[in-house]
Structure 1
């Protein structure tokens, strides 16, 4: 049989300045004081060392125990993901009080675990669908990777100078500028001439271009 591992958290935001109430409840539930982890941080704060150490300490067969459900997750998504991860690792979960007491040792608790797992799967599927839709939309607009490439005036100048030289390796230049080949050619021609998108980045009109070309040469 596994161990009971406790986690508790307080923050100034919710007015709970002391851990005594949570600690007493966890010990009364059978948690060894040496197996209780704690944080003094907001529930929305990402870097909670106590929770990270707690999640690393629990092993298959153990039961993670908290005073209330809101002590664990920084938001609903994080809560669902954390509980789903516990389920996948064969770790039990117990909430001692609040409107939603949970104990995976009971039929109701197992049902709640199943609901959390379903919500996590639903969230993963939504993220997958949004990502695919975003990539398709980006490709339809001529973008690569779903994110609009950033082309600055400095990058245009460097691309213009590099493309005008013999021996320039386009792939290496794109890597250096952190842009796609398509983005490069949309701004600068293979001979180093500015294209409309490149002129827009530099704030140059077609009337000004001949004079600028003579100056650069």
Structure 2
């Protein structure tokens, strides 16, 4: 059986291009979801992987739809290999049913990891340079008076969370953190 997987990162993005390509590739069943690639726990991907059996083909439009990190991509590839399932990435021209496809897959994984490491290194260098110039990174500090005001409003049980956050500018998550003992 040929199983497909499609993923978009935001609600505004469309599946159309991916679905057209997966259907053209002969996918009998296609699992799709709208979730960021950075998130490891993806329900539809897990369902697709559970559906696969020995001799099946698992088709994605592009490898970055399957995983953002090389480690996650290699874990999925290992899982597919253990199951006896071949991986096909349409846009990347990777088909692990061939020796060349397997080699290309592993090379692309290494290059993707290199790119991610280079981005991390540039970001780290940029932050260090900014610190030397006296700039601080990170989130702005919470206004403790506003948080205290939000907590007092909450304790009166006269206001909804939305009303409290509107009045104080304190986010609901900050309010809930303040309520924890």
- TM-score, length of structure 1 as denominator length: 0.46
Question: What is residue 36 of structure 1 aligned with on the other side?
Answer: 30
Among candidates 97, 100, 112, match of residue 108 of structure 1 = 100
Structure 1: tracts of 5 or more residues without a match: 120-217
Question: What is residue 4 of structure 1 aligned with on the other side?
Answer: 2
Cα distance, 1:28 vs. partner?
A: 0.6
Question: What is residue 124 of structure 1 aligned with on the other side?
Answer: none
Structure 2: tracts of 5 or more residues without a match: 111-181
Deviation track 1:171-211 (CA, whole Å, cap 9, x = no partner) reads xxxxxxxxxxxxxxxxxxxxxxxxxxxxxxxxxxxxxxxxx
- Higher RCO by CA contacts (8 Å cutoff, separation 6 or greater): 2
- TM-score, length of structure 2 as denominator length: 0.55
Question: What is residue 21 of structure 1 aligned with on the other side?
Answer: 17
Question: What is residue 85 of structure 1 aligned with on the other side?
Answer: 79
Instruction: State how far apart, in whole Å, the 1-side matches of 2:56 and 2:31 are.
Output: 14
Instruction: State how far apart, in whole Å, the 1-side matches of 2:54 and 2:104 are.
Output: 19
Instruction: State how far apart, in whole Å, the 1-side matches of 2:53 and 2:12 are.
Output: 29
Cα distance, 1:36 vs. partner?
A: 0.3
Cα distance, 1:30 vs. partner?
A: 1.0
| Structure exhibiting the larger radius of gyration computed from Cα positions | 1
RMSD of equivalent CA atoms: 2.1
Cα distance, 1:16 vs. partner?
A: 6.6
Instruction: State how far apart, in whole Å, the 2-side matches of 1:54 and 1:96 are.
Output: 17
Instruction: State how far apart, in whole Å, the 2-side matches of 1:61 and 1:16 are.
Output: 35
- Aligned pair count reads 109
